[in-house]
Structure formats: structure tokens, C-alpha cells
Amino acid sequence: MSIVATPTPGPTLLSPKDHTLILIDYQSQMAFGTHSIDMTALRTNVALVAHAAAGFGVSTILTTVAAKTFSGPIFSELTDAFPGAEVTDRTSMNTWEDANVIKRVNAIGKDRLVIGGLWTSVCIVGPTLSALDQGFEVYVIADICGDVSGEAHERAMQRMQQAGVRPMTALQYMLELQRDWSRIETYGVTTGIAEKFGGAYGLGITYAKTMFGGAEHHAAAA
């Protein structure tokens, strides 16, 4: 008997209301030691993810470590996207060992997590492995994470993938939330963020809009 295809998305694809985004330790001290990715590129990717999450109404937790005594303030890319949002400061390197963060995770009540932060091998490996062990489904946005070296980042990503983490990228995250250009209620959010933070892809959108009024949802509607 042959398989019958249906026009429905796979269950592992993300949607805005089915997960919690946790952004960890985007702070000056952590950035100073990050060498696996250009910091300008990382900040742009972080801004894209944060603004996408805000635009789509994704439940989001922001957390820092030793903000006042060592690591410094959280990136402005996050406070710009989430003005006035609560930022939970910790002492533990592993976010998952902080009772206040876990209280927020439980209050939101979603068993699918998307995580990014600095550094990959410490601040991301810790909570992802801990959450997986407790039955959560975990995704990591690889290009909003960074480490002291390329080797450190890659080995951390491998370790998490071996444990069951699903890796993805910043632009992939936003486009997966949109997923259909006929969703006109978030079309402007998606293309606007892409134009500002999406690099060459964003330039392409600007070109298409300016030169001939191009829009993906026009074709879908037709």
C-alpha cells in the first residue's frame, strides 16, 4: 500500500505558539571571549531572532549571569526587541539549575524549547542536556551561539546533537514561523525584519519591493 501525501506540516516544524525561546547570557564579558563567529554577524543574527520572536508573539525568557558583578549588561539587540522585559539574572553557569528560570519555564508550560546564547559549550550545553533529560524537546539556533574557538563551538554542537538536540539557524527560525507567504498578518513583520537584519536576503526583498512592487504573498494569492 502506497503512502498518501497530504498538504500538512510535519510535527517537528516550529510554530509561534508551540515553544518557548530562551536567550542566554548575551553580555559583554561573554562576547569578549567569543571567537567562533564574527561578533557583528552574531549580533545581527540575535537581533533577527529576537525581533522575530517579539513580532510573532513567541513566549521568550531572557537570562543573564552575574550581570552587575562580572558579565555586564544584556545586548541592546534584545532590549530593543523586548523593551521592559524581565531579565532573570543567575549565579549558575547552567541556566537549568536556576530556580527562578525554571519557575518561568513551568509558568509558560510548553515542552518544546528553542535556545541560543554564549558560550555554546557551557551556557548552552548545560541547559539543553538538562532539559532533554527531563523530557523536553530542544532546538538550538547555532548561528546565534558562539564560543572561545571554532573547535569549542563545533564539539558542543555535536555533543548536543548526539543527545537529541535539533540544530537550526536564525533566518531558518524566522521563516519557519512564517512558513506561508499568504499569512498576510505577519508578512510585514517577516519581510521588515529580513530587510533590516537579513543580509543579502534582505537586500533582495528591498530590491524587489522598490523595483517592481514584488511580494511573495501576491503570487500565493493569485
Q: What would the pLDDT profile of 172-194 be if each residue is shown by its tens digit?
A: 999 999 999 999 999 999 999 99
Residues of the chain with CATH 3.40.50.850: 20-175
Integer Cα distance of 15 and 103 in angstroms: 23
Model's pTM, two decimal places?
Answer: 0.94
pLDDT on residue 215: 72
The pLDDT tens digits for 115-173 are 999 999 999 999 999 999 999 999 999 999 999 999 999 999 999 999 999 999 999 99
Phi, psi of 169 (to 5 degrees): -120, 170
CATH number of the domain at 20-175, please? 3.40.50.850
Task: Say which residues have a Cβ less than 8 Å from residue 169's Cβ, sequence separation at least 6.
Answer: 45, 141, 142, 143
* pLDDT over 90, % of the chain: 93
Q: What number is the average pLDDT over the span 106-119?
A: 98
In what order do the strands lie in the sheet containing 59-65?
A: 87-90, 59-65, 20-24, 112-117, 137-141, 166-168
Name the residue among 59, 46, 45, 48 with its Cα closest to residue 15: 59
The mean predicted confidence, pLDDT, of the chain is: 95
pLDDT on residue 221: 44
